[in-house]
Each structure stands twice: as C-alpha cells, then as structure tokens.
C-alpha cells in the first residue's frame, strides 16, 4: 500500500461514525427510560409531601429529551453510513464500516423512538393519575 493511499484512507475512516456515537443511540434511550422509572418512584414521596408534582414532570421531560437525542444521534449515524443513498458498492473497502454505521444508526433510531414513547406513556400516567392516590 502506498503512502498516498494511507493518507486518503484515514480521513475517510474518520468521516464515518464513531463507535461511541453508534452505541449512544442504542443505549442512552434505554437508560433514560430506566432512569425515568427509578427517579419517578424516588420523587413520589417528596412530591406528595410538598403537594407539588412539578419535579415529576421535569424529570419526564428531561429524560424524554435525552431519549430523543439518542434517536437523533442514530439518524446521523444512519445518514453517515449511506442510509439515505443506494449504499456502498461491493468493491468498496469501507462497505463493512458503512453497513455497520447504517445498521447501528437504524437500531439507534428504533431504540430512541421506542423508549421515548415509553417515557411519554409513563408521563401520561403521572398527568392523569395522582401519584399520591394510594397514600
């Protein structure tokens, strides 16, 4: 491999999504939903004692935005992998990396949307059912 081929290959590899960004789109929305459940339970006694439920709503909103950010990062990875084009050719050296970026991006979008919907469902329960109902 010549010196010039190495130079042109490295910027191309750097252009594709990093592993951290790909995993962010998959893992962060799930962790946001789990944090919403955990913090929701932890904040209920405090909310009931103060007769103010704003902390439960702020918690859900912040974690909903965090889950949505995972979907947006996944969409960026999907685009970088060529998800909005015909894809890489079979002879391309980076086709495996593009395929991975495209797959991880699509999985990040699905994960972000799924867990964002779950957070909204949990938030709706907080809106319509008083957390102090059984106390």
- What's the average pLDDT block by block, 10 residues per block, for the chain (135 residues)? 51 60 94 96 90 90 97 92 63 72 93 97 92 75
pLDDT attached to residue 14:
47
Handedness of CA 60, 63, 68, 69 (dihedral sign): positive
Q: Which of 101, 104, 107, 75 is nearest to 13 (CA)?
A: 101
| Residue range of the domain that includes 82 | 3-128
Domain count, the chain: 1
pLDDT attached to residue 94:
59
In a domain, 62, yes or no: yes
In a domain, 123, yes or no: yes
In a domain, 88, yes or no: yes
Q: Which of 129, 135, 70 is nearest to 104 (CA)?
A: 70
In a domain, 27, yes or no: yes
Asked if 37 and 122 touch (Cβ cutoff 8 Å), the reply is yes
In a domain, 134, yes or no: no
pLDDT attached to residue 92:
53
Asked if 16 and 80 touch (Cβ cutoff 8 Å), the reply is yes
**What's this model's pTM, rounded to 2 decimal places?**
0.78
In a domain, 135, yes or no: no
In a domain, 133, yes or no: no
In a domain, 11, yes or no: yes
């Amino acid at each position: 491999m010549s010196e010039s081929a190495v130079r042109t290959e490295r910027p191309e590899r750097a252009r594709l999504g990093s592993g951290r960004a790909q995993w962010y789109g998959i893992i962060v929305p799930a962790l946001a939903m789990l944090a919403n459940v955990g913090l929701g339970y932890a904040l209920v006694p405090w909310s009931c004692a103060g007769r103010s439920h704003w902390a439960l709503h702020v918690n859900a909103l912040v974690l909903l935005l965090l889950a949505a950010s995972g979907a947006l990062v996944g969409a960026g990875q999907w685009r970088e992998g060529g998800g909005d084009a015909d894809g890489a050719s079979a002879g391309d050296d980076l086709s495996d990396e593009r395929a991975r970026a495209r797959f991880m991006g699509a999985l990040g979008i699905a994960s972000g949307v799924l867990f964002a919907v779950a957070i909204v469902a949990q938030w709706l329960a907080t809106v319509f059912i008083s957390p102090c109902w059984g106390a």
